[in-house]
Every structure is written in C-alpha cells, then in structure tokens.
Structure 1
C-alpha cells in the first residue's frame, strides 16, 4: 500500500473510527438508509460537516481546510469502505472543482461555502443523445437581454434530488461541437426545473432533469460563455480519481467481507478459504487492490503537485483499474459466498450493485481505454 503522511494517516484513522461507531453494524446502516432504500443521510453528513471533513478539498477562504486531491480521495475511499451513507459527497466533490477554478467570488462563497456546511451539489451533463459523446449536447441556453432561457433534458444526474445546485452544461451556440457550450450554476428550486427519479437496480440515486423556459441571470454563468468544453476537460483529473477512490473503498470492503466469510465457513471439515481454488482467488484480488491503491494515490499526488496539468492517461488508468477491479471483487465475492452472496442478509449483493455500474458512469471503461490508447498516438 502507498505511504501516507502522518496527517493523512490520522485523518484516515478518524474516519474509520467514526464509521465503526456510526455505521459499523447492519442495523445501524439499515436505520440510516431506510433498509437500503436511500444512499445519503443528511444527519450523518451534517455530523461530518461539523467535524470539518467535507471541506477537506475546499480553500480556507470558503471555510475549508485546503487539502488536495489526495485528501479528497482518502476521505472518499474510507467513507466508502465504512459503508457510510453519504453518497451525495462524490458528485459534490466533483462539482466543487469547476467552481473553485472558474466560479465568481459570489459563486464560490455560495456553493463551496455550502459544501463545507453540509450541502450537496450535482452535475447535469449527460443527455438522452449525449452520453459518451459529450460534445453532442443539445440542451439549449438561449441568450436574452438580461440572461438566458434554458430548454432541454438532462439524464443520469446523480444526486440531483439531494442537491442545492446543478452544474449545468448547455449549448449557447449551434453549428459547432466543442465550442458554444456554457457552464451554469442552477439552483434546483429555480422555476422551470423538474427533477424525476430514475428507478435502477441500485435504488434512488440518479435522475432525469427537465428544463422548461428556465430563466437564469447572467450571474449564473460559471467561467466564460461558450468556453465550457475546456473547463470540463480541466476537471477530468478530479472526477476520474474521485470515482476511482470510491470504488477502491468499496472494493476493499467487498474483499474483507469475502475474506471473513471464507475463513469462517466450514465444509469438508475445514474452512473453505483453505482450498486452493479460493486461496488463489483471494491472493489475486488482494494483489489487484494494492495495485489500484498505488496507482490512484500516485496520480493524485501528481495532480496535487501540478494542479493545472492534464493527466488524461494516468487519470483514465486509475478510473479504469479501480472500477473494473471493484466489480471483479464483488462478483468473485458472490461466487465465493455461494447463495449467501446473493442473499440480502449479507452486504455482498449490495457491493455488487454498487460496483457493477461504476464501469459505466463517469466515462465507461471502453471510453477510458480509448483515451489511454490515444495518448500513445493510436
């Protein structure tokens, strides 16, 4: 595993202690999530805000502690390992980056200051016709004398139903693909905004968002009009690494749950983990998880050392490796636990539901491989 600084080790230990106390048992988690139906508990999230943890990646000017991407990834990893129902944090942490880099002082105070105090933020980029092909966005922002009128649909918006604002990408010019896109800060209670949940295998976490003659003032623009594409590209390091950290945490938890089971389960007079088929499977998974951790935190350190540097190859590798590994660990966990891995009595089936989608959102594994290949001139 990678070497943490004393401050990072202390931070990770505090998170682990908190999770053991607050979310360490199935009964505690069921009470916080309505028996698994919800993925974000505002009370628990508020307690983390009071501890100062939600501001780990936020500037001291907005009340945060000024940590880097390494610390954001550490918080994400450990809360996911601890199965803390704070699912709103991932999109919040991803959304924070563009506001920090391109937002006005008023936007940074409102949004980033709100994050420190426990508010959730979300992103609205994908559309029914613009998933992997982000440049195909058609949601329209028509300029009028005192602002913009938004019409269109966004989809797969994680945590939009929990969020105070949506970081919206809309088209302000037609005739081009990468030019003519603009980033907006949209309060979710703005007239003309409708959020509808999308039922999924993993419960209530994604939404369709409809914009109908939604008025936004000029002050809602984040960064520069028609320049959202380079702004989005500038945030991809953070998005991919944060998603990788979440799945590293969940993958490690699935591994530890599977390991505990195969040590305790007896068949043919001995623990099933002592049989070579499972022993070698455990060895392979443990090795892969350590590889994920080393890659993730190496790339996070690179990003912290040079925040303006684009790391398309390295960040895509981290996202690809962590999500594919977490999914594999959960699938192997189900197999090793047999029928119990499929039963809701145990957490393994929820690990599977949480990880199987991770190779799709935030850029599919196929897209990540394509990006990596392009960096080699292919």
Structure 2
C-alpha cells in the first residue's frame, strides 16, 4: 500500500497544523501553556481538541469517535508534536483506549471510550521498580476474594500521566506463571488505597510512582480475561510503537526546521553559517533521514489498518526504533549547529532534546526493539 495521504487525511493534517499555529504558534503562547516547558499537558486546551472531535480520531463511531484508523491517529500525533501542542496526555490515552476497545466489556467501552472522546485522559500501569523491559517480572498482586472482588497491593513506577488520568489500566499478577499469570484491571481515579507521587525529571512532571495498598476493585473490573494480560499486551504493540514513532517523527521535523531556520540567519565570516558545506551536508543528511522515517511510519500504519488483526512486530519495532533514534540525532545535531545558543533556554532546541532522549527508553528501549527485530529473522 502506498504511503500518500488521502484528500481527507491531508485536510485533517492541515486543520491540526492551523490549530497549532493559532494556539501555540509563538514562544510566549507555549510558555504560558506549559509553565515554561515543565508541563506537557494543558487540560483546557485538551478539552478544546475534544470539542473539535479529534481525540476520538481512531475510535469507533458508536462511542462518539470519528471511526478513523491507525494512520489517522499517527497523523494527529505527528502534527501536534510538530506544532508543540501541550496534549501530552493523548499518547497514553490512545494506546490505552485501543486496549479497552479490543478487550473491554461493552460497559467498559462505553464508559471509557466515550470519556476519551469528551477529553478524558487515560494511563497504563505496567512498569515496577523491578520490572521494566521485563514486564513478566512484575510483582504487584491482585487477589480474588470469596465474593469475587479483587484486592490489589504493590507499586508501579514511571507511569506517564497517572496524575491527570481519569482512569488507569493496571496490569497485576493473578497467577504464578511469568507471562500467563497477568491480568488487566480498570482502575478509576480516586479509588481508595491508590497514592500517586510525581517523579521529577528533566522535562518536569510527566511520570509517577503509583502505590497500591489494599485497593478493592469489583469483580467486573477485569479488562479481558483473567491471566490473559500478557497476550493482550502483545496484541497492542503495533499501536503503541507506531504512536510513539509518529510522535517522535513530529518532534524530529520540528527540531530540524528550528535548526535550519537558525543556520539560515546566523552569520559568521560574512555569510550565513548554513551556507558552509559542513552544515549544508549535515542538513541534507538529516532531511533525507526524516523523509525515510516518514515513509516508514506511514507505510506501517497503513498496513496495520489494512490488516487490523495481524501483528507487525518487525515493522512496528523498526518504526519505533528509527523515529526515536532519529529524534535524538536531530536534536543533538541541532544543538551542535546552533553552538552555544542551542544550550540556552532562549531557544527551544534544549527543550526538544529533553523530549527526544527519553523516547529511546520508554515504550520499549532501542535495545529491546533491536532484539525484537532480530528475533523475527530467527536469530
């Protein structure tokens, strides 16, 4: 399948770009919305995106969504990232929403997916202090009581957007088998026994520790099958990795354009520094890599839409690996091309770098992606 956009998709991307330019087009606007770059999510602006119908871009129409596909969601993520729209809650929301769409009960889907369309934020809690890349090693435990309810104890860490989420999709251990003993649970915000503590990072508050102490959930809080959580997680990897890739593709494009804008204007030795061969060739290489990555991400997204029941472990991991490593490369080289100004908060390249470097860690590290790709070749 070709990677060109349909007329409808092109119009949608243009509308998102126009919104970003109007609402976040200046440094002053972006600083006001993000507390000087420390907050990745602005609730009021997010609700406006919901009012436009964009947050349900890839959710079924029966729950208020637009009925689009993976490619449409990737377009939205790419353009909002490029436009620096502070809607950081969307990426965990759309990843989590797809799990509810695929495995949730009808009641869960109506409650959660309809809420997403209206502007609710979702989070997913897998990682623990002793279980990161090795999700099967998690120890948070859910015990089924005699009345069918569940009691959950444990700790989750690095949970993106838990502090602003209306609900968390929690993965807990319900059996002894490493992979066959995991179960997903619907955990509403404000449930007694849940404590959320922010973790300070270079990007401000975006991730959290989540402490679970005698948390009681009803019998129907299970999402999917008891002890079926691992298979359900694996079924969602196409979406998770592609959405992360699209987000970083947008960031790479933005950092590239910012760097090119700078080297066009900055003069040394009587001419713009971008006219020197050393920088001109660097710009050419980065532009080529961005275009290759764009084609890869869009092609895989379209393949996923064409075959929604098929897993694309190799291709999705390639997209995530390529886009996140590219974003890191572009921001680092952008800093180098800008010299000392690239390190100052006067320009936004340092903000781009802080967003890019962590992308090669979350959602499966680059090393894990390479391992997945290698295994698909029988290695």
* TM-score of the aligned structures, taking structure 1 as reference length: 0.99
* Partner secondary structure for residue 169 of structure 1: strand
Is it true that 1:350 corresponds to 2:313 in the alignment?
no
Shift of 1:2: 4.1
> Of 156, 159, 162, which residue of structure 1 is paired with 2:158?
156
CA RMSD of aligned residues (A): 0.8
Distance 2:201 2:28 in 1: 24
How far is the alpha carbon of 1:146 from its aligned partner?
2.8
Whether 2:76 is the aligned partner of 1:69: answer: no
Distance (whole Å) between structure 1 residues aligned to residue 260 and residue 287 of structure 2: 10
Distance of 1:317 and 1:16 partners within structure 2: 27
Structure 2: gaps spanning 5 or more residues: none
Match of 1:38 in 2: 39
- Are 1:339 and 2:344 an aligned pair? no
Matches within 5 A, 1:212-361: 212-361=213-362
Q: Give 1:203-214 correspondences, 5 Å limit.
A: 203-214=204-215
Counterpart Cα distance in 2 of 1:318 and 1:188: 33
CA offsets 1:180-202 (integer angstroms, 9 cap, x no match): 11000101210001000001111
Q: What CA deviation, in whole Å up to 9, does each residue of 1:282-312 have, x standing for no partner?
A: 0010011111110001000110011110110
Query: CA separation in 2, counterparts of 1:285 and 1:127?
Result: 36
- The correspondence of residues 169-180 of structure 1 with structure 2, limited to 5 A, is 169-174=171-176, 176-180=177-181
**Which 10-residue stretch deviates more, 35-44 or 1-10?**
1-10
Give yes or no for the alignment of 1:165 onto 2:145: no
Query: Corresponding residue for 1:146?
Result: 148
Query: Any idea what SS the aligned residue of 2:171 has?
Result: strand
Question: Counterparts of 2:327 and 2:290 in 1: how far apart (Å)?
Answer: 8
Match of 2:82 in 1: 81
CA contact (8 A) 2:63 2:113 kept: yes
Q: Is the 8 A contact 2:37 2:203 kept in 1?
A: no
Deviation at 1:59, TM superposition (A): 0.5
Aligned pair count?
A: 377
The match for 1:28 is: 29
For 1:200 and 1:374, the matched residues in 2 are separated by 33
Gaps of 5+ in 1: none
1:108 is aligned to 109
SS of the equivalent of 1:86 reads coil
Distance in 2 (alpha carbons) for counterparts of 1:32 and 1:170: 35
- For the residue of structure 1 that corresponds to 2:204, the secondary structure is coil
* Structure-2 separation of matches of 1:343 and 1:161: 29
